[in-house]
Amino acid sequence: MKALPVLLGLMLLSSRLLAVELTEGVSSAGSSPSAHPENGSVQKDSQGEIVILVRGLRNSEGQLLIALFEQPDGFPDEHEKALRTKILPLDGEPLQIRFRSIAPGRYAVAVVHDENENERLDTNLVGIPREGVGVSGGKNRMLRKPTFHDADFLFTDEEKQLVIEMIYF
C-alpha cells in the first residue's frame, strides 16, 4: 500500500501541470481523469466549459482577478490554491470569462475587481474589502467571508454559465 500515496501524488501533480498549461493558453493533447460527480468513478474525456459573466462593476479601472476552485482549501482569497486563475484587464468590453477543458465536479468561483492592479484584494484595518468582490452560487450577501460551500456549484454539462454580481462595501 506504500505505492498508493505516491500514485495519488503523481496524479495530483499531473492535474496541476495540466491546469498551468491550460491557464497559460497552451493546449494539451492529453486529458486527465476526473471524478464523475454522481458515482465517484473515474471518467476520461468528459470535459466542458464554464462561462462567467461579471456584472455590477462600479468603474472600468484596473483588472479582474478570477479564480476557479475545486476544493475549499484557499477559497476565496488564496488564488495560488485555485485550479485555474485568470487576470482580465478592463477595457469596456463585455466581461465574459471562459474556463475551458473543465472536468465534471463541484467548483466555486471568486472574483476581485483589482482597481489598483496590485493583484490582490485590498482591505481596511478590520478586513473589509476596499475593492469589489463576488462569488458564484448567488449567495453574495457578504455579511461574512464566503465559504466554498456558500459558492459551490455542480458542473456536469458541456457548458455552464454563471452570473456573478460584484459587491462593494
One-letter amino acid at 135 equals: V
All cell numbers assigned to 106: 463541484
Per-residue pLDDT of the chain (169 residues; tens, 9 = 90+): 444 333 334 333 333 333 333 333 333 333 333 443 443 433 545 799 999 999 999 999 999 999 999 999 999 999 999 999 999 999 877 789 999 999 999 999 999 999 999 999 999 999 899 999 999 987 656 678 899 999 999 999 899 999 999 999 9
Residues counted in the chain: 169
Exposure string of 138-151, with b = 16+ CB inside 10 Å and e = fewer, is: eebebeeebebebb
User: For residue 54, what pLDDT is reported?
Assistant: 95
All cell numbers assigned to 63: 483588472
User: For residue 144, what pLDDT is reported?
Assistant: 83
User: For residue 34, what pLDDT is reported?
Assistant: 40
User: For residue 8, what pLDDT is reported?
Assistant: 34
CB 98 within 8 A of CB 51: yes
Domains and CATH numbers, the chain: 3-165 (2.60.40.10)
Considering just the CA atoms, what is the radius of gyration of the chain in Å?
17
User: For residue 96, what pLDDT is reported?
Assistant: 92
CA distance linking residue 32 with residue 129, whole number of Å: 37
CA distance linking residue 165 with residue 162, whole number of Å: 10
